[in-house]
Amino acid sequence: MKCDVLVYGFGVTGKHVLGICKELRLTYKIVDDFALPFGSDFVSLEDIKVARLILICLNDEDAQENAKNKLLQLDFDLNVIKVINLGDFRNSYLESFKDRFSAISFIDTLLEDDYKLNNFQQIYKEIIKEYKEKKIKEVESKKELLKKVEDKYPELNSFARIFTTSFKQSDNDLLHYPYFHVFTDRSCSDKNFFFREEVDFHSLKNRDINTKFVLCFGSSVMRADEVALESTIAKRLEGLLNSPAGGGDSLISYKVLNLGISGYNTSDMCMLYLSLFESLRPDIVMCVFFGNELITASISDESLLRDCMLYYHPFVESECRNIFDSKIPLYSDFRFRIKEVDYGLILKSIAFRIEQFSRVVSSSGAKFYGFITPLLHQKLHKTQDELHGQKEALKTYPPYYFSHLEYEESLLREFKEIVKVKVYDANYATTSSKETLFLDWIHLNARGCDVVAWYMYEVMMAND
């Protein structure tokens, strides 16, 4: 058996020597009198016929002498046997070794040295010195680059800066923050969390005592990218609360934030609240839910849904698959549903999560309102425009988005029976209308947002 380097002793020094061998692409074998021989790299001395260089990687001098004598008894040439000491070696030095040595020059340098490798120790000190000087320059360069980024993007946090300056964007543009994620939208004015409107956290934290702070959570229905910001549910509600015509109190002003994020479900909203907004001590928290939950839960992992009542947007799974370059198929890969759906379990999970959100908000002193998403299927008088919008949506979205429609009435009824917190059905605002309120099966036009905002306002006034 032949090798370039025989590593004698596989303690800390031996492992560092192994790293150098790998970096320089040297063949190696390992001998250790005490370690268990795991893997084909471990051999006995008797197996080695030729080694160009033998490095004794033992710190104790008696052990070094014993190792040398064993090698000599097996007729290894004394000139190829060396004792190496790397002291406080760091793996970050490996690149500097590669810059200094080729595979051949490394072996030749050590073979020409004495038994204790005194000349190599001087070279090693130079390598460490050069590395530290290089790191100092790199640190200064990074400081300059960071300053340029901070100056160019003063309003962005570090996560948003990473996303903005990246050459590589994920297929789904999912930006991961600690404890929550957001779906990015380059058309937004807010480039930190991609809300439809800017959020001045400092001003909200230090708001006037007469300013009531209202948060409106939801998915794409609340976000309403299809209509102007001023026409969304949140902004129409803000107008009603601040308008004398709507019964607003002239001494009290309301700030209502549209925190809708497309693809969000109740768990996402709760984590977003805890992460960014609980510390702002809001007065009222509103949540529009149910429609997106039905869809995402039906294709979420069955064990997580069953054991943890956890459901999520399929983009989260596909993003994980992309990160680890996995090829396994996911339920969301298929346009049609390929498994039976346990709607009873899904409804229990949705109820659990809205109850959890309510408890979290109430424990921080805010008032919580949960509203069931208005759905076109519940509307008694569907207009031609609404039916056309739903038909067009069927061409765009996977069919599994609509597979629950035939059960929707009974699912809503069963959910209301099992949920343990007060929720309000926004379908009451739309079900009898003969106007065009929906753009498709779930998303509202400006008039639909106005109708739902009025319903929410009336609920708030009745519970004030």
Instruction: Look up the CATH number of the domain holding residue 303.
Output: 3.40.50.1110
- Cα 359–Cα 298–Cα 300 angle in degrees, nearest 5: 75
Q: For the chain, how many structural domains are there in total? A: 2
- Model pLDDT, residue 41: 87
Please give the average per-residue pLDDT across 232-258, as a whole number. Answer: 86
Confidence band (pLDDT; 50, 70, 90) for 315? confident
Question: Is-contact 379 386, C-beta < 8 A?
Answer: yes
- Same domain for 182 and 99, yes or no, is no
Taking the C-alpha atoms of residue 53 and residue 117, their distance in angstroms, rounded to an integer, is 12
The answer to whether residues 183 and 88 belong to one domain is no
What pLDDT was estimated at residue 39? Answer: 73
Same domain, yes or no: 256 and 319: yes
In this predicted model, what pLDDT tens digit does every residue of 7-34 receive, in sequence order? 999 999 999 999 999 999 999 999 998 7
Residue 140 lies in a domain: no
CATH of the domain at 41: 3.40.50
Three-class SS state of 247: coil
Instruction: State whether 127 and 204 are in the same domain.
Output: no
Task: Extract the tokens encoding 36.
Answer: 């268990």
- The answer to whether position 392 is within a domain reads yes
- Asked if 327 and 455 sit in the same domain, the reply is yes
Please give the pLDDT value at position 431: 97
Please name the helix (run of DSSP H) or strand (run of DSSP E) that holds residue 83, with its range, or none.
strand 81-83
Q: What is the pTM of this model?
A: 0.76
Q: Are residues 354 and 296 in the same domain?
A: yes
Q: Tell me what pLDDT residue 325 has.
A: 86
* Section 323-333 average pLDDT: 86
Nearest C-alpha neighbor of 303 from the set 335, 243, 245, 349 = 349
Q: Is residue 109 part of a domain?
A: yes
Alpha helices, DSSP H, located in 247-342:
266-272, 291-297, 302-308, 314-323
**pLDDT value, residue 323:** 82
DSSP bridge partners of 424: 371
pLDDT at 319 (0 to 100): 84
* Segment 137-164 mean pLDDT: 92
How much is the pLDDT for 90? 92
**Minimum mean pLDDT among 18-27, 174-183, 453-462: which range?**
174-183
Mean pLDDT within 337-360: 93
Q: Among residues 66, 71, 82, 78, which one has the least CA distance to residue 117?
A: 82
pLDDT at 361 over 80: yes
Q: In terms of domains, do 362 and 254 share one?
A: yes
Last residue of a domain, one of 131, 161, 195: 131
**Can you give the pLDDT at residue 40?**
80
The whole domain housing 59 covers 2-131
Question: E strands, 158-281, where?
Answer: 174-177, 180-183, 211-218, 253-260
Tell whether 142 is covered by a domain: no
Backbone angles phi, psi at 459, to 5 degrees: -65, -45
Element (H, E) at 56: strand 50-56
Q: In this structure, which amino acid lies at residue 127? A: I
φ, ψ dihedrals at 268, nearest 5° = -60, -45
Whether residue 286 lies inside any domain: the answer is yes
Question: Is pLDDT above 90 for 446?
Answer: yes
Q: Of residues 173 and 260, which shows the higher confidence score?
A: 260
Which of 69, 103, 131 marks a domain boundary?
Answer: 131
**Residues 397-410, mean pLDDT to the nearest whole number:** 83
Q: Pick the last residue of a domain from 102, 131, 160.
A: 131
What CA–CA distance (Å, rounded) separates 422 from 358? Answer: 9
- Quick one: pLDDT at residue 6? 96
Query: Of 166, 183, 165, which Cα lies nearest the Cα of 174?
Result: 183
Q: Which of 86-100, 177-191, 349-363 has the lowest mean pLDDT?
A: 177-191
Top-confidence residue, 375 or 188 = 375
Do 273 and 339 share a domain, yes or no? yes
Q: Measured in Å, how far apart are the chain's first and last C-alpha atoms?
A: 86
Q: What is the DSSP letter of 226?
A: T
pLDDT for res 163: 86
Calculate ∠ Cα 315-320-323, nearest 5°: 125
* CA 376/CA 408 separation, integer angstroms: 11
The C-alpha angle 431, 437, 438, rounded to 5 degrees, equals 100
Residues 226 and 298 in one domain: yes
Q: Check residue 333 and give its pLDDT.
A: 83
110-132: pLDDT as tens digits = 999 999 999 999 999 999 999 99
Convert 189-213 to b/e letters by CB count within 10 Å (16 or more is b). ebbbbbbbbebeeeebeebeeeebb
pLDDT recorded at residue 64? 96
Residue tagged 């080729």 (tokens):
102
Q: For position 131, what pLDDT does the model report?
A: 92
The pLDDT assigned to 168 comes to: 66
Confidence (pLDDT) at 38: 67
Looking at the domain assignment, is residue 148 inside a domain? no
pLDDT of residue 79: 97
Answer yes or no: is pLDDT of 248 > 60: no
Q: Which amino acid is located at 297 in the chain?
A: A
Q: In this predicted model, what pLDDT tens digit does every residue of 179-189 receive, in sequence order? A: 999 988 877 88
The pLDDT mean for the chain works out to: 92
Identify the residue whose tokens are 């030729």: 50
User: Does 199 share its domain with 262?
Assistant: yes
Give CA–CA dist 173/175, Å, rounded: 6
Q: Are residues 378 and 312 in the same domain?
A: yes
The pLDDT value given to residue 247: 54
Higher-confidence position of 463 and 249: 463
Q: Do the Cβ atoms of 424 and 207 come closer than 8 Å?
A: no
pLDDT for residue 226:
94
Sign of the dihedral through C-alpha 177, 182, 186, 188: negative
Q: Judge whether 420 lies within some domain.
A: yes
* Greater model confidence, 438 or 322: 438
* pLDDT the model gives residue 12: 93
Distance CA 59, CA 47 (A): 24
pLDDT at 245: 57
Q: Which of 330, 311, 288, 308 is nearest to 449 (CA)?
A: 288
Percent of residues, the chain, with pLDDT higher than 70: 97
Residues 199 and 94 in one domain: no
Cβ-proximal residues to 380 (8 Å cutoff; 6+ apart), any chain: 431, 432
Residues 392 and 384: beta-carbon distance below 8 Å: no
Query: Is position 410 within any domain?
Result: yes
